Amino acid sequence: MEDDPDNIRVWLVERTYSDDEQNLIILTYATTDGERYFRKERALTSFSDVRDTTAAVDVGPGNLGSVDDSDLEDQYATEAKRMADTHAPDDVI
């Protein structure tokens, strides 16, 4: 889907657990320049509920947010580039 002009590939840069809600994982994906990000929240309902987390996802531009912090932008860019260099987009992470 990398050649799809309607979608932008973003790479996993952060996986955190929500402080507010129990059993919620927040996955953050970013562009390799670190300027845009996509957040995905996932409830962990049971051990039998298997949903793989992949190294990258392709999302529409309207689903991306802008990173407004230069330090965070640098962090996201570094991690997204590392993921892109070491993983195929559909690698399970």
Residue 47 domain-assigned (yes or no): yes
Is residue 34 scored above 50 in pLDDT?
yes
Is residue 33 scored above 90 in pLDDT?
yes
Q: Give the pLDDT band of residue 52 (cuts 50, 70, 90).
A: confident
Contact predicate 25/16, CB 8 Å: yes
3-state secondary structure of 26: strand
3-state secondary structure of 62: helix
Choice among 7-21, 22-36, 43-57 with the minimum mean pLDDT: 43-57
Residue 92 domain-assigned (yes or no): no
Residue 21 domain-assigned (yes or no): yes
Look up the pTM and report it. 0.85
Residue 91 domain-assigned (yes or no): no
Give Rg (Cα) of the chain.
13
Which amino acid is residue 78, in one-letter code? T
What is the per-residue pLDDT for 75? 98
Q: Give the pLDDT band of residue 3 (cuts 50, 70, 90).
A: low
Residue 50 domain-assigned (yes or no): yes
